[in-house]
Structure 1
Amino acid sequence: MIQPGQTIGIIGGGQLGRMMGLAAKEAGFKIAVLDPTKNSPCGQLADIEIVAPYNDEEALNELSQVSDVITFEFENIDYEGLKRLTKKAYVPQGAELVRITQNRINEKAEIQAAGVQIAPYITAETYKELEEKIDDLGFPCIVKTAFGGYDGKGQVKLESRDQIESAKDLFTHSPCIAEAFVPFEKEISVIIQRNPAGQTYCLPIAENIHKHHILHESIVPARVEQRVLEQAENAAKKIAGHLELIGTLAVEMFVLPDGEIMINELAPRPHNSGHYSIEACNISQFHQHVRAVCGWPLREPKLWGSSIMVNVLGEHVAPLQERIADYPDWSIHLYGKAEAKEKRKMGHVTIMTENLEKTLQEIEQSGIWQDIN
């Protein structure tokens, strides 16, 4: 068990690393962070800041020397470097989870192997192979790069075969998958967390609303039937068990018109849709993640009350700051990023509420997010 006063190394210095670091600091841990950018969101509060690319061998060695345990804040890090790191440092999550989740082809295969439902899909190493196979899948479908791509980047929706050329450029980045487009009623996510002893808990399930392929709002509890929540939690537990999870796994799902669920994708880390838990639960996803990777017993999450989390993108920062005095019940989190670029995640707001619909109206009527409503 990693004790307070010891050092947690974090690969990645973005907002997830920052909030992980804040949770760790509360319990008395020291923080070391590796990130290519000086004064990154996590670097601003770290005891040790290592500024270097994620695949820099010397930097990874330094991180291993100064850390008692190492975790990561996102999956698009250097797998080979992480694998080598596991040989000389304590990385309880291992490297295999990153290998699986940073490649959609691997990820789909593992989700299937866990015995849960996913959309029909095909894989293609080349554009020519996509042309040959696509009719087996049918239309509409979504073509996605196997590597990289998030918040809607690295993917193209095809309504018919006439549009197939629009997917050609994706193959300059990596092989691709194409998956059948699934008509769904809602998107939900389950954040499941597990410690080395196998103790496992899920956070209350969030309903997610996206705008321009970027998460806009997470509503908790999700406005779905109880049986949907039970199915979703069971599916997440199957996947976590299959992957022998230690740490955190976010499982994004579609809720279909018949009330069945279908798994969309995984993230092996704390997740944007779990930020609400900082205010709304007796344990946040970040505190629980720290407990899991440090080998502490986990706490059973409880929801204190309904809540809505709203993302703050670059274009929302100025209007939000102008309205702070108008909304004393809003919890405002800004991540310390240097530049407020359009569509860049700069922070989030969490609102505890007794009336979800009324608060959703309040968010819309504030005018802060009017460009994407």
Structure 2
Amino acid sequence: MSTSSNGAQSVLAPGACIGILGGGQLGRMLAIAGARLGFDVHIYTPEDHAPASRVAAHTVKGAYDDLDAVRAFARGVDVVTYEFENVPVETAAAAAECAPVRPGARALEVAQDRLVEKSFLNEAGIATVPFRAVECVSDLERAMAALGVPSILKTRRFGYDGKGQARLKAGSSAEAAFAEIGAQSAILEGFAAFEREVSIVAARGLDGAVKAYTLAENEHEGGILRRSIAPTPAQARLGAKAEAIATTILTQLDYVGVLAVEFFVLAGDQLLVNEIAPRVHNTGHWTMDACACDQFEQHMRAVAGWPLGDTSAHSAAEMVNLIGEDAADWLTLAQEPQAVLHLYGKTEIRAGRKMGHLNRLKPLRD
């Protein structure tokens, strides 16, 4: 173990080993960033030929519910982190028996359940859309009466990219909507008349220091992020407010690493938190080519106990997700001037699957 001491905090020296739970594209980009800083990165994943495995020093294939295998994996590294928020809390807790886990399991507990997440935010004084818990059709009928329509029904757990959701409007059947999401524990969210969606990616170090990137403005298609533009023109008006909200969340969770906060912007520049993601995030991919220290390096710095890097942007950026067949045009995209192509090493193109992204760069305007 290559660990040195910096006061009361443990700081990993180059040559140390960082373990990542999860082998997808975020793990892949974290592994590349870690290698650049001199770390060996080990991946724990249930997948064969996972995108992260092909760039990491070592991979352990195992199920997330095989807690003995998780403990063995954690004993072989200096610190453990995760690349997606649906790592079971029990898995993170098992790893924490054998190595530090950063961020901790509390962040997973909050982010994995939409009801817990929104309750946590409101208790911290952070505004969200109004919401109600739904366990059955009669709960949904009462929630619809309280919040009105349009509104959106979401499973409490495991929904992403528009999955596990049903939109309700005048005349919608509560019974049909509840069946559409699989009759699972859910949350009904009130309508937000938002003008735009923005997000902030911020990090908290082991020493409690917080740094944030500029706000990105986001466009979604079919529930999937299509593009992010940074900095958004709203940065001057909303940046400090968004950073303060992110700092509150990071501090309340005693968080170490990178976290993303997605917002609805309402008339009068009111910010409502839509959701938080305890990990590096798609809306922060623009930082890979527009900042000296991108979100992936920042996360690895934080979990290793290093000082956080510079979050200032040297370029403006438009990040475009390559979804499904978009990636088949890689040769043309690779020739585009002032653009940087990132492909995730996924061998099978499928509709709706994130295959890569393209960062188009422009000079910053004063």
Which interval holds the TM-score relative to the shorter structure?
over 0.9
Unaligned runs of 5+ in 1: 357-373
Matched to 1:21, the amino acid is A
Report the Cα offset of residue 57 of structure 1.
Answer: 1.7
User: Any idea what the Cα deviations from partners look like across 1:230-263, whole Å, max 9, x if unmatched?
Assistant: 2211111122222221111100001112211111
1:332 equivalent among 331, 341, 350: 341
1:47 equivalent among 43, 50, 57: 57
Closer, same or farther: CA 170–197 of 1 in aligned 2, 3 Å: farther
Closer, same or farther: CA 131–25 of 1 in aligned 2, 3 Å: same
Structure (1 or 2) with the greater helix fraction = 1
Give the root-mean-square deviation of aligned CA atoms: 1.6
SS at match of 1:315: helix
**Residues 231-310 of structure 1 mapped to structure 2, 5 A cutoff:** 231-310=241-320
Does the alignment pair 1:58 with 2:68? yes
Closer, same or farther: CA 279–132 of 1 in aligned 2, 3 Å: same
**Residues 113-152 of structure 1 mapped to structure 2, 5 A cutoff:** 113-152=123-162
**Residues 1-373 of structure 1 mapped to structure 2, 5 A cutoff:** 1-170=11-180, 172=182, 174-224=184-234, 226-325=236-335, 327-354=336-363
Distance between the aligned counterparts of 2:138 and 2:249, measured in 1? 33
Report the Cα offset of residue 170 of structure 1.
Answer: 5.0
Matched to 2:111, the amino acid is T
SS at match of 2:173: helix
Report the Cα offset of residue 116 of structure 1.
Answer: 1.1
User: What's 1:364 paired with?
Assistant: none
8 A contact 1:151–1:214 mirrored in 2: yes
Report the Cα offset of residue 142 of structure 1.
Answer: 0.5
8 A contact 1:139–1:161 mirrored in 2: no
User: Any idea what the Cα deviations from partners look like across 1:67-125, whole Å, max 9, x if unmatched?
Assistant: 11000000111111211221222113111110110111110111111111111110112
Report the Cα offset of residue 323 of structure 1.
Answer: 4.5
Distance between the aligned counterparts of 2:333 and 2:294, measured in 1? 27
Moved more, 267-276 or 171-180: 171-180
Q: Please report the TM-score for the alignment, with normalisation by the length of structure 2.
A: 0.93
Distance between the aligned counterparts of 2:113 and 2:331, measured in 1? 38
Identity %: 37
Distance between the aligned counterparts of 2:34 and 2:334, measured in 1? 28
SS at match of 2:97: helix
Distance between the aligned counterparts of 1:225 and 1:322, measured in 2? 32
8 A contact 1:74–1:269 mirrored in 2: yes
Q: Please report the TM-score for the alignment, with normalisation by the length of structure 1.
A: 0.92
User: Any idea what the Cα deviations from partners look like across 1:330-355, whole Å, max 9, x if unmatched?
Assistant: 10000001201111000000011148
Moved more, 170-179 or 334-343: 170-179
User: Any idea what the Cα deviations from partners look like across 1:169-206, whole Å, max 9, x if unmatched?
Assistant: 25636310001110111100011100111010001111
Distance between the aligned counterparts of 1:273 and 1:225, measured in 2? 15
Structure (1 or 2) with the greater strand fraction = 2
Report the Cα offset of residue 214 of structure 1.
Answer: 0.6
Matched to 2:356, the amino acid is G
Distance between the aligned counterparts of 1:323 and 1:303, measured in 2? 23
8 A contact 2:31–2:52 mirrored in 1: yes
Distance between the aligned counterparts of 2:231 and 2:113, measured in 1? 31
8 A contact 1:170–1:176 mirrored in 2: no
Unaligned runs of 5+ in 2: 1-10
Matched to 2:151, the amino acid is C
Moved more, 75-84 or 271-280: 75-84
Distance between the aligned counterparts of 1:148 and 1:221, measured in 2? 30
Q: How many residues of Structure 1 are paired with residues of Structure 2 in the alignment? A: 355
8 A contact 2:342–2:357 mirrored in 1: yes
Report the Cα offset of residue 162 of structure 1.
Answer: 3.1
Distance between the aligned counterparts of 1:323 and 1:74, measured in 2? 28
User: What's 1:371 paired with?
Assistant: none
SS at match of 2:172: helix
Distance between the aligned counterparts of 1:254 and 1:157, measured in 2? 17
Report the Cα offset of residue 281 of structure 1.
Answer: 0.6
Report the Cα offset of residue 141 of structure 1.
Answer: 0.6
Distance between the aligned counterparts of 1:114 and 1:125, measured in 2? 25
Distance between the aligned counterparts of 2:172 and 2:338, measured in 1? 51
8 A contact 2:314–2:364 mirrored in 1: no
